[in-house]
Structure 1
Amino acid sequence: MSQISELSDDLLVKILLFLPTKVAVSTSVLSKQWKFLWMWSPKLDFDDYRDINHTKKSSLLMYRYENLALHRAPILESLVLKFRFKSENIKQWVGIAVSRRVRELSISYLYVWDVNSQVLLPCSLYSCTSLVTLKLEGKNILVDVPPTVCLPSLKTLQLLRVTYSNEDSLSLLLSYCPVLEALSIDRGYYDNMRVLVVDVPSLRCLSLNINSECSSDDGCVIVTPSLKSFYVVDTTSKCSYLVEPMPDLEEANIFVKQNPEKLLVSITSVKRLSLRVDFNSKEDPGYDAGIVFNQLEHLKLCIINDYWSKLLVRLLKDSSKLRVLNLDASVSFY
């Protein structure tokens, strides 16, 4: 231990980066030299999901949260906050991260004991010029986007089962992310948005997960002309799609309960396609036989009845570049 303590503080901080934040904070009790070293770490990960006694915070937990305001690193590369108990300080901690020019911010707040408890994030988050990656998870997190929103560096955005303050919150947020490349949206029971609108010219990867419990039934509007990767899981039977063509699409994974034609028409330039449809109707769906996948090279299909099989033959008969075909006769996908 004495030999390690002889190292410079800068080197010791680099060593702490290899440790979980909880362990790094615990080193503060070793000596006066170690007391504040963790506060210089540019990466912090506070995970309360693993706290067995969620009704009472440990003294160490209180220590590290109370001292977060004293964090000394001029630039915070990454901050991960995971909560499963009610906290009044999330807004303050996010504000601190923004003031430290945070680059990666992840907030997961799953306070299941109070469905009406909402976390309002600071307005400064939506104008953080340094932010590159943002993840918000949990129905208690309220996405309330101010008119002054501007995220010029944001490239990756994940919105997982969050609540929106109004119908225009998501569209407003996306419209001021000029370099956004990857977007993940997970819609669940508490989703209060009627129509999902994704209009992002710069987007390259889009992932949509629409749970069967989602209350919305007004569909999705997708305008992503630069998209390379498209992933959709839709376990509802009511969601409709209005999708603009994706001429640069390379890979698509489409898992829907029924009616995939709106999606198929928009991804005819795809090279690799995985398609699963839980279609149990005894009637021929009668989709447009003119859908042709001119660039398709790799295809994986999940087939559950003869009608769907015949439809796929019609849709794919002109795929001249097809080299790999994988058929899966699974009965259920969900």
Structure 2
Amino acid sequence: MDRISRLPDDVICHILSFLPTKHAVATSILSSRWINLWSFLSVIDLDDTLYFNPSRRHPNSPLFANFLDRLLSHNQSQTITNFKLHIHDSHGHTLSRINRLIHNVVTKHVVEIDLGIFFSFHTDDDCLKIPNSGSLKVMKIRCEDGLKMPAFAGCFPGLREFDVKVSLVKSGDELLTNLFPCLPGLEKLCLVGDLTDCSGEIYVNVGGVGLKRLELELNIDNYDDCDAMVVIDAPRLEYLRLQDGFMASYLVKNKPAIREVRLDVGEYDEEFVEFLEEVGHVRLPRFNELLQGLVNARFISVAASTLKVVFSQRWNLPVLPSLTKLELEVHTSSWMLLLYWLESCPNLAVLSLIIKEKPIDDLDMLEELELTGPDAVPLCLLSRVKEIEITRLGRVDEEEMLKYLLDNAKVLDKFTVNSRMYIKDGILQ
């Protein structure tokens, strides 16, 4: 008898939990010692791509569905710590059937659910329904064509992390409104909202007394026909990431003491710039309004596209007195944009720059920015900035930027360059 077979059942099951469930079940053929161990697995990892039979004409054979039913009906574990189910082909599945699967898993005191649905339903099914659970702590739901926001039955005080991609248009106000009272202990929310087929205005309210980390991404194709109004009410929020390609309206209530903010809103391409010529007076002031709600932030990161949209309108950014670290994505031909941000950061201690090459779709729009250096050096660079980090440096035409920073950072203690190629001799002299 081999040494592994001599181990206790719970130890062997723990080892099997690191395998895809299909392979864990296959160990039952090794010997009579292994024949039923798979039925005690507390970690279930199912991906239907491992069950496609190339010898069959139709990819949606019942092979996977039958295996799934047999697996769950024979599972003898008291607790399922992790249930992962990724489905890429319908196999005859409906949301009603998937809801029954989730119900069966929840009765096993499941701790974490990772559900991926990567196909379109043929009928207009109802939303996912999550039965009441006191054990569920993490839920991840992803799909190709946005589903409705799941409906939670009762209160879920144990749910700490919710990662979901859904159609905000199909979900409607009711499911969104009823979501957060059901999740009083929620600390982390990652929401990807699909706004396809949206017309007019859509309102999104996000909040929670315990919410500490929020990542919100809004995807849309027809931003000239749709607009989004987002209200964030989370007094204990510490981390915030916002991403959209059309500059939605964000209202951050109560000015929480956020430690880290990452902003990638708006898009600096020819189509969006033309769009702003018509509605810029409405869309563009939103960024300043957003920053006004983030005046307590200590770290802010801004994407290159947002940086250029903001500067193209010659805004006077609000003062950010609490900001001690600023991270900017800067294209090689527009590095001077960072100087206008430094004017708004009187107490900045760390400046982090991520240098990117000029994208092809910028065309000649950067020339229209008419970049010129400021008449005076930003005060924080002269008296506050003690550390500068530069990532992805490696072009000779960045010598001007390096020279400017090194000449004017008078109290600099640390200067770090992470280069993707060797810097030519003399560039830092």
Cα gap change, 1:52/1:191 in structure 2, threshold over 3 Å: closer, same or farther?
A: farther
The one of 236, 249, 254 aligned to 1:240: 249
Q: Identify the residue that residue 291 of structure 2 maps to in structure 1.
A: 264
CA offset digits 1:132-187 (Å, max 9, x no partner): 001111136433526x5311101000111356543121231112211111000112
Matches within 5 A, 1:79-98: 79-86=83-90, 87-88=93-94, 89-98=97-106
The one of 186, 191, 197 aligned to 2:205: 197
Query: In structure 1, what residue type is equivalent to 2:262?
Result: N
- In 1, are the aligned partners of 2:311 and 2:337 still within 8 Å (CA)? no
Q: Identify the residue that residue 255 of structure 1 maps to in structure 2.
A: 264
Which range moves more in the overlay, 250-259 or 186-195? 186-195
CA distance in 1, matches of 2:21, 2:163: 23
Unaligned runs of 5+ in 2: 268-283, 362-429
- In 2, are the aligned partners of 1:229 and 1:252 still within 8 Å (CA)? yes
In terms of fraction of residues, the more helix-rich structure is: 2
Matches within 5 A, 1:1-334: 2-52=2-52, 55-57=59-61, 59=63, 62-86=66-90, 87-88=93-94, 89-112=97-120, 114=121, 116=123, 118=125, 120-124=127-131, 127-138=132-143, 139=145, 141-145=147-151, 148-162=153-167, 164-190=170-196, 194-213=202-221, 216-237=226-247, 239-257=248-266, 259=284, 260-276=287-303, 277=306, 279-280=308-309, 284-287=313-316, 289=317, 291-302=318-329, 311-316=340-345, 319-326=346-353, 328=355, 331-332=358-359
Which range moves more in the overlay, 300-309 or 67-76? 300-309
- In 2, are the aligned partners of 1:109 and 1:141 still within 8 Å (CA)? no
2:263 is paired with a residue whose SS is: strand
Based on CA coordinates, which of the two structures has the bigger radius of gyration? Answer: 2
1:96 is paired with a residue whose SS is: helix
Cα gap change, 1:32/1:63 in structure 2, threshold over 3 Å: closer, same or farther?
A: farther
Unaligned runs of 5+ in 1: none
CA distance in 2, matches of 1:144, 1:65: 23
Structure 1 residue 123: deviation in Å? 4.7
Query: In structure 1, what residue type is equivalent to 2:177?
Result: S
- In 1, are the aligned partners of 2:308 and 2:337 still within 8 Å (CA)? yes
Cα gap change, 1:110/1:162 in structure 2, threshold over 3 Å: closer, same or farther?
A: farther
Query: In structure 2, what residue type is equivalent to 1:131?
Result: L
CA distance in 2, matches of 1:66, 1:191: 39
- In 2, are the aligned partners of 1:204 and 1:227 still within 8 Å (CA)? yes
Which range moves more in the overlay, 2-11 or 81-90? 2-11
Structure with higher RCO (Cα < 8 A, 6+ apart): 1
Matched residue pairs, number?
A: 325
Which range moves more in the overlay, 175-184 or 303-312? 303-312
CA distance in 1, matches of 2:64, 2:28: 10
Cα gap change, 1:247/1:142 in structure 2, threshold over 3 Å: closer, same or farther?
A: closer
Q: TM-score, normalised by structure 2?
A: 0.67
1:75 is paired with a residue whose SS is: coil
Structure 1 residue 283: deviation in Å? 6.0
Cα gap change, 1:267/1:134 in structure 2, threshold over 3 Å: closer, same or farther?
A: same
